[in-house]
């Protein structure tokens, strides 16, 4: 999913403004995990769901993408596994590579 399309999904979900896209692009991606650590439980669950959506959007569960999910989740203190975030009904419809 192209970045702008994914941003539009986030924009709708979090009620962001159009100019937030440029502000977000300007942020250092190394700072982002420390900001994710500040999320509450509900926000963590939403973030885990968004990460899993990015992995399964092409209906292929790539082992490298799941490994990245696991690293980000562990670093940020998110205890929701990829499988929990995605749901078995969505996983069943995907291929694995």
Q: pLDDT tens for residues 58-94?
A: 889 999 999 999 999 998 899 999 999 999 888 988 9
**Confidence check: pLDDT of 5 > 60:** yes
Q: What is the model's pTM? A: 0.73
Residue given tokens 């992995």 in the structure block = 55
**Whether 10 contacts 16, CB under 8 Å:** yes
Average per-residue pLDDT for the chain? 84
Contact 69, 51 (CB under 8 A): yes
How much of the chain exceeds pLDDT 70, in percent?
A: 91
The CA-CA-CA angle for residues 57, 54, 41, to 5°, reads 130
């Amino acid at each position: 999913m192209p970045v702008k399309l994914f941003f539009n999904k986030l924009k709708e979900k979090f009620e962001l403004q159009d100019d937030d896209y440029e502000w977000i692009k300007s942020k250092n991606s190394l700072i982002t995990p420390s900001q994710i650590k500040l999320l509450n439980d509900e926000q963590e669950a939403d973030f885990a769901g968004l990460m899993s959506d990015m992995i399964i959007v092409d209906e292929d569960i790539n082992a490298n993408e799941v490994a990245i999910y696991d690293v980000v989740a562990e670093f940020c203190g998110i205890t929701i596994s990829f499988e929990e975030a995605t749901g078995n009904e969505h996983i069943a419809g995907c291929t694995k590579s």
